Amino acid sequence: MLAYIIRRVLQMIPILLGVSILVFVLFTAVGEDPVRVKLGNHASPEAIEELRKQWNLDKPLIVQYGIFLKQIVTFDFGRSFNTGDQLSTVFAEGALVSLSLTAPPYFFGILINLSIAVLIAFYRGSWIDKYSTVVFVAAMSISYLVYILTFQYVLAYGMDLFPINGFAPGLDSIQYLLLPWIVIIVVSCGPDIRMYRTFFLDETKADYVRTAFAKGCAPKRILFKHIMKNALIPIITYTVIGIPFLIMGAFLMEKFFSIPGIGDILISAIQNGDFPVIKGLTILIAIGYSFFNLITDILYAYVDPRVQLN
Number of structural domains the chain divides into: 2
Question: 20, 8, 2: which is closest to 292 by C-alpha?
Answer: 8
Give me the residues paired with residue 79 across strands.
86
Question: 55, 10, 13, 16: which is closest to 283 by C-alpha?
Answer: 16
Same domain, 257 and 117: yes
Same domain, 69 and 128: no
Quick one: average pLDDT of 97-112? 89
Q: By residue range, what is the domain housing residue 14?
A: 2-74
Q: The domain that contains 129 carries what CATH number?
A: 1.10.3720.10
Q: State the pLDDT confidence band at 15, using cuts at 50, 70 and 90.
A: confident
Ranges of beta strands (E only) in the chain are: none
**For residue 304, is pLDDT > 80?**
no
Quick one: average pLDDT of 272-291? 85
Asked whether the whole model's pTM tops 0.75, one would answer: yes
Asked if 149 contacts 187 with a C-beta cutoff of 8 angstroms, the reply is: no
**For residue 249, is pLDDT > 60?**
no
Q: Is residue 85 part of a domain?
A: no
Residue 111's Cβ-count burial label (10 Å; 0-12, 13-18, 19+) is exposed
In the chain the first and final C-alpha atoms are separated, in Å, by 9
Same domain, 228 and 113: yes
Same domain, 228 and 129: yes
Q: Give Dmax over CA atoms of the chain in angstroms.
A: 86
Same domain, 65 and 112: no
**For residue 27, is pLDDT > 70?**
yes
Same domain, 19 and 120: no
Tell me which H or E stretch contains 294. Answer: helix 275-303
> Residue 29: its pLDDT value, please?
67
pLDDT in tens, 203-227: 777 777 788 878 888 777 777 777 7
Same domain, 65 and 169: no
Same domain, 69 and 102: no
Least confident of 137-146, 170-179, 291-300: 291-300
Q: Is residue 309 part of a domain?
A: no
Q: Is residue 20 part of a domain?
A: yes
> Residue 150: its pLDDT value, please?
92
